[in-house]
Structure 1
């Protein structure tokens, strides 16, 4: 079965550009670590805790991903006016509300509503002993991973479209 209109992965979007590929790799490592944290938080049977943890993790993760691609507000402000305009046009074309802006928990929660069904299922599943907690952990991981991957793809598209020179990786 072929799924049409599926968004290509960030690696595919990065193409043969080694700087973009490296930024995708670093971002994916961060994303995997945060998704594991979300999975652990999802197993705790405290109502709403996983939502709060997911929002906190994403509000820290998304700016880190932005930074890998030179897309934080301070990085964009340092660009020359023409390049800044290119970035703004690329962000508008991609339709991201999380690139080049201060990422707040409110903004993250609005983004998380796009996967609300998974989040609701995760809430219910964790009250079933063992199997439910495992399912909640899997959904917690998958939800954070999905949201992060979407953002990562947006960052790659903006960086390619605006022809940004990516910042050097942190030591």
Structure 2
């Protein structure tokens, strides 16, 4: 499976957006890992849901694909971007992150999340494994979203406004 950088096919704007998104994702995944190490029931799930509901729109915004950015497009351009997102199977591009979407995401990494719950109650080593699995789960979901954003950006390049400059 190609990486996000490979999917960008040398496009400097997309590569810059990927790098910014990955930096953001790493910071958020570290926060999730820290919460996963704490052996309080439900804390890690609540933290992961909160982090995902924040990081996904931020990643989308890096590519000009957030809900608010798409709402500013004309109806035809917005519809074209939505069709491009549907064509590449991008679940979260241009969407409001709802509880139902978070449940779909949880199913994608369900085994990791279940293992994380089980390991966190083993002193020290279990908490470390739980933190590692939490980091991996958030990173996996975030990286998949970055790839989806790259695919949609390439498919709808002529429909999107230029990405924000930093």
Normalized against structure 1, the TM-score is what? 0.90
Which of 115, 139, 143 is the matching residue for 2:133?
139
Residues 1:13 and 2:19 are matched in the alignment:
no
Which of 17, 20, 42 is the matching residue for 1:48?
42
| Distance across 1 between alignment mates of 2:162 and 2:114 | 38
Report the Cα offset of residue 165 of structure 1: 4.1
| Distance across 2 between alignment mates of 1:52 and 1:166 | 34
CA RMSD of aligned residues (A): 1.3
Report the Cα offset of residue 49 of structure 1: 1.1
What does residue 29 of structure 2 align with?
A: 35
Gaps of 5+ in 2: none
Report the Cα offset of residue 48 of structure 1: 1.5
| Distance across 2 between alignment mates of 1:18 and 1:162 | 16
The more displaced of 86-95 and 150-159 is 86-95
Which of 103, 106, 114 is the matching residue for 1:109?
103
Report the Cα offset of residue 169 of structure 1: 3.0
Gaps of 5+ in 1: 1-5
Query: 1:83-98 maps to which residues of 2 (within 5 A)?
Result: 83-98=77-92
